[in-house]
Amino acid sequence: MKKAHILGGGPAGLYLALLLRQLDYRVEVWERNPRDNTFGWGVVFSDATVAAFEEPDPAFYAALKRSLRTWENVDIIYRGTLTSVAGNRFSGIARIELLRVLQERCSQLGVVLHFGADITDPSSLRDCDLLVGADGVHSLLRQHYAALFQPQLSLGSNRYIWYGTRAPFGGLTLTFRQRGRDLFMAHSYKYSEELSTFIVEVDQDTWSRLRTLTEEQGRELLEQVFATELRGEPLLSNNSRWIQFTQVHNEHWWAENMVLLGDALHTAHFSIGSGTKLAMEDALALWRTLRDGGDLAAFEAARRPKLERFLEAARTSQKWFETVRERLELEVLPFCYQTMIRSSRLDDDSLRRRDPDFVARYEAYQARTMPP
Ligand SMILES: Cc1cc2nc3c(=O)[nH]c(=O)nc-3n(C[C@H](O)[C@H](O)[C@H](O)COP(=O)(O)OP(=O)(O)OC[C@H]3O[C@@H](n4cnc5c(N)ncnc54)[C@H](O)[C@@H]3O)c2cc1C
């Protein structure tokens, strides 16, 4: 029987672990956190992503489906006006619930899970057929073998902070709010009956005036700025702090018996809500390659082109949010239209299929305002 060692018990590591059990690997996972401790709030998946989990492990798929909350709309709040765009079906789940479902399935399948195991020297895990670095954006495995993976990291210019709230959001809500010279952008969505994720993003200029605030002062300010949307509910902190988005790129995905997955391998800006999806799809792609008798080179060859297209869309969306100020002259409808097509994953036709009424209203606006 082959032996796989996985560093990191996040979505990528745990999903790969349960899939490898089906290929008759002995699998051990090392995770520094205790079993029920994690950062963050909710994560989202598209319908297509969830559907792809069914074939490889129906039991995991069924357990996941029971925990998902689904919605249809993207709501954009700009200049105080709410515009709903229909046909954007997504599902949300608390990160901690996703990890619980994954851990439970791993245990059922006989994966050995080591919690509270902070690995400081990844070379101690190398004695195996496959060593997987699923240890997140600050991956130690990637760092330790940087000469082999040749990573490049870069920071986005905006700052963002990730909160939760009991304010009742429905679908994904993007709120743009100007206060004096400051510009605040909130990405919020419901992921359980009681809780929503509430990420606030600010540009460099705004940050230059916020940077001296304490964590508490900053939170109070955001509660004032978004008082209407939060409806008096506080922002809930879970180790929340302002950070810059780290873009991760690796020249080489694998080396010898080692491979990187998920955020250790690549990151996708949170504005397209796909980090967890991509991490788990990496695991799926690796499982599929190994199942079909391929090696790590075959995994990279099959997965890389598809992934690059997605990452390009994520970079475009990130840039869009970093330069929103340039579009603040736009009226409500064109601004919302631009917001929807920002990553170029949606175009006029696909948007029309999702919400013909919204596109018709936008076209009517264009016809009204176009010079003769
Ligand atoms: C603000 C924000 C919002 C986001 N929103 C979404 C969203 O809506 N939808 C979505 O799909 N994704 C979202 N993401 C992205 C998502 O959180 C990540 O992309 C996803 O968790 C990646 O999974 P992973 O398994 O690769 O890494 P991680 O989830 O980071 O897991 C890595 C694990 O490795 C462990 N680890 C690291 N180093 C060691 C070590 N030395 N020893 C032992 N254990 C170690 C860590 O404790 C961690 O549990 C968001 C991210 C951010 C920052």
Residue 88 has a pLDDT of 87
CA distance 148 to 101: 34
Nearest to 324 by CA among 201, 207, 231: 201
pLDDT tens digits, residue range 145-159? 999 999 999 999 999
**What are the distances in angstroms from CA 302 to CA 45, 258, 261, 266, 289?**
22, 17, 14, 16, 8
With contact defined as beta carbons under 8 Å apart, do 30 and 126 qualify? no
Does 164 contact ligand 1 (Cβ within 6 A)? no
Residue 38 has a pLDDT of 64
The residues near 293 (Cβ < 8 Å, ≥ 6 apart) are: none
Cβ neighbours of 177 (radius 10 Å): 19
Q: Is residue 183 part of a domain?
A: no
Does 277 contact ligand 1 (Cβ within 6 A)? yes
Tokens for 68, please give them.
């998902």
Nearest to 45 by CA among 88, 102, 81: 88
Does 237 contact ligand 1 (Cβ within 6 A)? no
Tokens for 228, please give them.
């209407």
CA of residue 198 to ligand 1 center, whole Å: 17
- Say whether 149 sits in a helix, a strand or coil: helix
Nearest to 322 by CA among 158, 210, 187: 158
CA of residue 33 to ligand 1 center, whole Å: 12
Q: Is residue 30 part of a domain?
A: yes
Q: Is residue 6 part of a domain?
A: yes
301 bridge partner residues? none
Q: Is residue 338 part of a domain?
A: no
Residue 178 has a pLDDT of 96
- Rounded to 5 degrees, what are φ and ψ at 207? -60, -35
Does 279 contact ligand 1 (Cβ within 6 A)? yes
In ligand 1, which atom is closest to the CA atom of 12?
25
Residue 43 has a pLDDT of 87
CA distance 276 to 297: 23
For 271, the domain range is: 2-38+94-155+246-320
The residues near 76 (Cβ < 8 Å, ≥ 6 apart) are: 82, 83, 85, 173, 174, 175, 176, 335, 336, 339, 340
Q: Which residue intervals of the chain are DSSP H helices?
A: 11-21, 47-52, 58-67, 95-108, 140-144, 146-149, 204-210, 215-225, 227-230, 275-291, 296-322, 332-341, 348-354, 356-369
Residue 46 has a pLDDT of 85
CA of residue 154 to ligand 1 center, whole Å: 17
Tokens for 241, please give them.
């702090």
pLDDT tens digits, residue range 325-335? 999 999 999 99
Residue 39 has a pLDDT of 65
Residue 232 has a pLDDT of 92
Query: Total structural domains in the chain?
Result: 1
CA distance 157 to 33: 30
Q: Which residue is associated with the tokens 């997140």?
A: 136
CA distance 221 to 99: 32
Q: Please list the pLDDT of the chain residue by residue as tens digits (372 residues).
A: 999 999 999 999 999 999 999 998 999 999 999 987 766 688 888 888 999 999 999 999 999 999 898 888 999 999 999 999 999 888 889 999 999 999 999 999 999 999 999 999 999 999 999 999 999 999 999 999 999 999 999 999 999 999 999 998 878 999 999 999 999 999 998 888 888 999 999 999 999 999 999 999 999 999 999 999 999 999 999 888 999 999 999 999 999 999 999 999 999 998 987 899 999 999 999 999 999 999 999 999 999 999 999 999 999 999 999 999 999 999 999 999 999 999 878 888 999 999 999 999 999 999 999 876
CATH of the domain at 109: 3.50.50.60
Q: Indicate the top mutation candidate among 135, 141, 307 to test ligand 1's pocket, ranked by most ligand atoms within 8 A of CB.
A: 135
Q: Is residue 351 part of a domain?
A: no
Q: Is residue 238 part of a domain?
A: no
Q: Is residue 356 part of a domain?
A: no
Q: Is residue 300 part of a domain?
A: yes
- Residues 348, 349, 354, 355: is their CA dihedral positive or negative? positive
Does 281 contact ligand 1 (Cβ within 6 A)? no
Does 15 contact ligand 1 (Cβ within 6 A)? no
